[in-house]
Amino acid sequence: MTEPSKVLHVRNVGYEITENDLLQLVQPFGVVTKSVMLRAKNQALIQMQDVGSAVNVMQYYANIQPSVRGRNVYIQFSSHQELTTVDQNPQGRNQDAPPNRILLVTIHHMLYPMTVEVLHQVFSPYGFVEKIVTFQKSAGFQALIQYQSHQSALSAIDALQGRNIYDGCCQLDIQFSNLSELQVNYNNERSRDFTNPALPSEQKGRSSQSGYGDAGSMYGLQPPGTRAVAFPQVCVDQAFLLAFLFQMGDAAAITAAFSGGLPPGISGTNDRCTVLVSNLNPDKFDEDKLFNLFSLYGNIVRIKLLRSKPDHALIQMGDGFQAELAVHFLKGALLFGKQLEVNFSKYPNITPAPDTHDYSNSNLNRFNRNAAKNYRYCCSPTKMVHLSTLPQEITDDDLVTHLEEHGTIVNTKIFEANGKKQALVLFETEEQAAEALVCKHATSIDGSIIRISFSQLQTI
């Protein structure tokens, strides 16, 4: 047991929990003199005025589980007897060094596509935005926003921290960056230099600023302070939202994602990106088959088969929301004679290693484009699979020949959409359809790499 201290250590502090939420837990027991939110670790440190106040907190919560916004948090004495950070000023900022004019922004629960234009509209009301760079990391979608002045960055972080870009989703988690200047090479949908509009564009879909995606240690911790927003509000006006969605080409699908609301059992607040799947058939499964299955619910970063437990695997998804979809829709699914167990892992990510497969740059990840549309089609395994990118001369017999080894095919239907051949194949059971998907997704028919997903249709 750690020696009593006036500094309290709080764990399991999700991104949805603000510093003000934590202060409300402990303020009835005494004065809080300092606090630090350690966002990168989902932790916080709170310093009470004296040890007695901290002891009162610990005694009270020894018999009552503290919960914030539906999440259990865990409080213990810190090994520190005193926080070494400077006292906070009334605005709750660390006075140890001047704030940076560059902000690191993480987007949580990202249901809608995020572009430079959206970010510019959100952040430009607080000052002239010089540069924006976006990239994907294990923490999810992130961006670096460079203002012309420090004061603009201060105003933005005070006004926007914890708020939603769109109603109910795309929550902003903002930190100061330690970078002194952003380097932008291209003006496109992923990066923009507003001071140099003459920069060339780049091939769409390529990472234009890959160096920033590997610079995690260069960012400063989020400065301490209370920037709570009791009821996060929409930062993008509705007219812009509608115009943006229509530009994306499928406004109805995006605005009505999941038929107007998240599926039952999906909270949208999970921040754990890695899932543990167990009870696999080790003779049938490999990393690519797991990728084919789990990529239906989000982008795959890495997969690791546990050699000490051959029927276990770790799968790191693109963000916590995608991981939550995978757990929700795949828990209990039948595959290769086994009923899968899918749960959140205690590990926040999978460390790159020789026995780990990295899929972060795979062009087979489905959510790099049309993310909202792919979210809408998420479902548990069904008897019906949908095949796309088929060769133009495909026949029903070709489909049967390619898939019949995985089970009894009840019916098939080939059709054309937007000039491209697609098909529906109905199997006798969900397990047979799932096996066909994991084994034949991304395989070739007459030189065409086919894509397979579950269909929510019941009959052909």
The candidate with the shortest Cα–Cα distance to 55, out of 77, 73, 74, is 77
CB pairs under 8 A, 24+ apart, for 29-37?
29/53, 29/54, 29/56, 29/57, 29/60, 30/54, 30/56, 30/57, 33/87, 34/83, 34/85, 34/87, 34/88, 34/224, 35/88, 35/224, 36/83, 36/85, 36/221, 36/224, 37/13, 37/222, 37/224
Compute the Cα dihedral for 221, 225, 231, 232 and give only its sign.
negative
Running DSSP on this structure, what letter comes out for residue 177? B
pLDDT score recorded for residue 97? 36
Instruction: Say what the pLDDT of residue 20 is.
Output: 76
Per DSSP, 399 falls in state: H
Q: What is the pLDDT of residue 384?
A: 96
pLDDT confidence of residue 378? 86
The distance of Cα 398 from the centroid of its chain, to the nearest Å, equals: 38
Distance CA 365, CA 19 (A): 36
What residues does 10 pair with on adjacent strands? 44, 75
DSSP 376: H
Q: How far apart are CA 430 and CA 439, in angstroms?
A: 14
Determine the pLDDT at residue 258. Answer: 52
What is the mean pLDDT for each group of 10 consecutive residues in the chain (460 residues)? 86 79 87 82 89 92 85 89 55 45 86 82 92 80 92 87 74 85 88 91 51 38 30 44 40 41 66 92 95 95 94 92 90 94 91 92 85 81 95 95 96 89 96 97 94 90
85-94 pLDDT tens trace? 433 333 333 3
Return the amino acid letter for 397.
D
Collapse the DSSP code of 169 into the 3-class scheme (helix H, G, I; strand E, B; otherwise coil) and give the result: strand
pLDDT digits 0-9 by tens, 163-205 = 878 766 778 888 888 888 999 988 988 899 999 988 988 654 4
Amino acid at 420: K
Q: Are 121 and 236 in contact (CB under 8 A)?
A: yes
Task: Say how far apart CA 444 and CA 446 lie, in whole Å.
Answer: 6
Distance CA 410, CA 318 (A): 35
Contact by Cβ (8 Å): 165, 118: yes
DSSP calls for 264-287: TT--S-----EEEEES--TTT--H
Cα–Cα distance measured from residue 288 to residue 307, given in angstroms and rounded to the nearest whole number: 16
Q: What pLDDT score does 451 carry?
A: 95
What single-letter amino acid sits at 131? K
Q: Would you put residue 258 in left (φ > 0), alpha (ψ -120 to 50) or beta?
A: left
Residue 339 CA to residue 180 CA, distance in Å, equals 52
Burial of 108 (0-12, 13-18, 19+ CB in 10 A): buried
The token pair that represents 54 in the structure block: 């901290």
